[in-house]
Chain A
Amino acid sequence: MKKWFAAGLLALAIGYTVYGLHTLTLVTSSGRPAAGFFPLLIGVLLIVSCTVNLWGDVREWLEEKRTGIVPVHQADPEAEAKADALGVDAHAIDGGPEFGRDVLIVFLYICGFVAIMNVVGAFLAMLAFMLVYLFTFNRAHPVSNAIYALALPASLYGLFKILLNASLPVGPLGL
């Protein structure tokens, strides 16, 4: 996946630069830099660095395929920096088992939450998200799940809508 992410970034960098070149003015009639000058500079740097980055990731992938040794997963940069400075293995800080499927489920739930928010209103969307999430990951406690699923949205709704007077989507129930 790492190389695909790098490839995606390169594709976006090319898209960003090409779109900028087509829609933006690079230099004014008096020869001064215009709106497209800085984006073009960023775009070119992005294309060059993303290409080198993709090449490095593909080489790493080929090396992994050749040797059969696959690292646990890429530690985050902070963990790498800390590990470098402390002289320890970064994966000891940021390693262990992986739960990619759970990430996908939670992400889809968040997308669902945002998608229905404008239709059913903020309160019902929060309630639905809480119920679906808790009954997926914490099935052993149905009663406390139900209480929690009601209490947290109610308190956050009260905080944002009543105390902070924030504008939240309103559904058919007026909530």
Chain B
Amino acid sequence: MLADIASNLSLGLSVAASPEGFLFLVIGAFLGMIVGLFPGFGPAAGIAVLIPMTFGLQPTIAIIMLAGIYYGSMYGGTITSILINTPGESATVASTIDGYPLAQKGRAGPALVMQAIASFFGGTIGVILITALAPSLANFAASFGPSEYFLIIAVGLLMLTTMMGDNKFKGFISALIGFAIGTIGVDVMSGQQRYTFGSPELIGGVYFVAVAIGLFGIGELLHCIFNGQHRQPAKRLRISFRDKEFWPSRNDYHESRWTFWRGSAIGFVAGVLPGSGATLGSIIGYSVEKKVAKDPEKFGKGEMRGLVAPEAANNAASAGAMVPLLSLGIPGSGATAVLLGAFLMWGLQPGPLLIVNDPEFVWGLIASMYLGNMILIAMSIFAIPLFVKFLDIPYVNVVPVIVLLCVIGAFAINASIVETWILVLSGLVGFAMKKYGYSPAATVLALVLGSMAEETFLQTYIISQGTMNLFWERPVSLVLSIVLLTVIVTPIALSILSRIKGGTSKMNKGTP
């Protein structure tokens, strides 16, 4: 098995380390760092907006670049968390808890270096685990039938919506909206047109890129404007790695030695689970680290372990999220949904057969992640002064860059003005969704998976002759059905239980 992995990786390295592959990997990682720097503009938006720029590239090189943007943003997002207490994206929120107090204590340099090392550690552990797990999972998934696939999609979407606190219901509606948009176009099974209103542009369906760029790009941009980011002055910061205080102390490394491992393991598991991803991984990583610490009172006041844990976790999670994407063809988050869309756009069908049919692509991507993490740690330490300079650009000047990239990018995909208007409309809807507590990520995820969900659902229906008993007759389906029911029933049961408890305690209080 080890010999297989070694030969696969050397095949992958021949793709990723080629001059073209390496160049676009560096470009992707660099763009990812910048995407991570700007608050409110996460990896999903970054990938969606930059997809049109990969048109002239080979599919493998294009995906290597887009994946570089994805995990590069995890590195970049922490810089603002530490320096200005503003997470560049949601997965780096937990890093602000101890990162910013460290900077306030005059330890911004060591914090930035340690976050880069933790990110590298988490990312690399994650990629090693992908190397080991993805082929085995793909082998296992090769026996999956339509019922298993439908249930995995349903569990993934439900878990994504249960992540949404009080807004679970709105998350469910967001996913249904995605499914509804996905039904526009020609029905694959019967060839009948659906919701095209006679427009030839809609026969092929609503192209996911325009919707994703609109929801994530324009939607997030309008939300940032709504919050007044364009009215804020630029943050002028200076940092130099030549300063003696820039480097972490021996004690920092010594105290965090187990934190790297714990954070990476937790993050990877969170990443593999559909719907949870890097945000939850980093938060759990932080909470666990605080719980196991002998001195939890130090956390939140500038404790290095409180920064290392979420950083190792979010990078391991972003790697872990590639496991279901590559082996099952099912993304677990908005960013990986956009990546899946890009795979499909390039004619690559992620799933159990991808590793068999296109090993150069899969192993090239995995090898690029090893290289990408090495490039990113070097960039994160030695190019920090450069990235900090990007924060000098006021957001008011960033807005037109995003708008032009979105509009021109959406038009350039199919030279279609209808798709450009779909982008504009999706932007407005995306803004309203963010403002009123809906989930654009669930919509994009459901849109990308919509046709697969419909096809597998109908196949299950037809095979089981309308009884749907395939959902509990096959062992894997049965387990997934139980998970699905648990995800649905647990929050309802807990809510009823807490109401009963509340009622009982009120009655007790009322009793003289």
Contact = CB atoms under 8 A, between A and B. Distances in A.
Interface string A81-97: 11111100010011011
Contacts of B164: 77, 80-81
B462 interface: yes
Given A82-B279, A156-B404, A103 B225 contact: yes
B435 interface: yes
A69 B287 CA distance: 33
Given A19-B195, A38-B183, A39-B194, A80 B166 contact: yes
Q: Could you tell me the dominant secondary structure of chain B's interface residues?
A: helix
Contacts of A164: 52-53, 55-56, 412
Contacts, number: 212
Given A46-B180, A148-B397, A160 B461 contact: no
Contacts of B457: 38
A100 B225 CA distance: 8
Interface string B419-450: 01100100110011011111101000000000
A74 B437 contact: yes
B121 interface: no
A32 interface: yes
B400 A99 contact: no
Given A50-B173, A78-B90, A117-B407, A42 B179 contact: yes
A35 B187 contact: yes
A168 interface: yes
A56 interface: yes
B23 to A, nearest CB: 14
Contacts of B100: none
Contacts of A118: 417
Given A5-B436, A74-B435, A159 B167 contact: no
B176 A35 contact: no
Given A38-B183, A122-B408, A100 B226 contact: yes
A138 B397 contact: yes
The 8 lowest CB-CB distance pairs between A and B, nearest first, are A166-B412, A35-B187, A167-B415, A35-B192, A80-B165, A77-B164, A84-B165, A76-B434
Given A34-B187, A75-B437, A106-B225, 9 more contacts: A19-B195, A34-B190, A80-B166, A86-B93, A99-B231, A106-B222, A129-B400, A153-B404, A163-B56
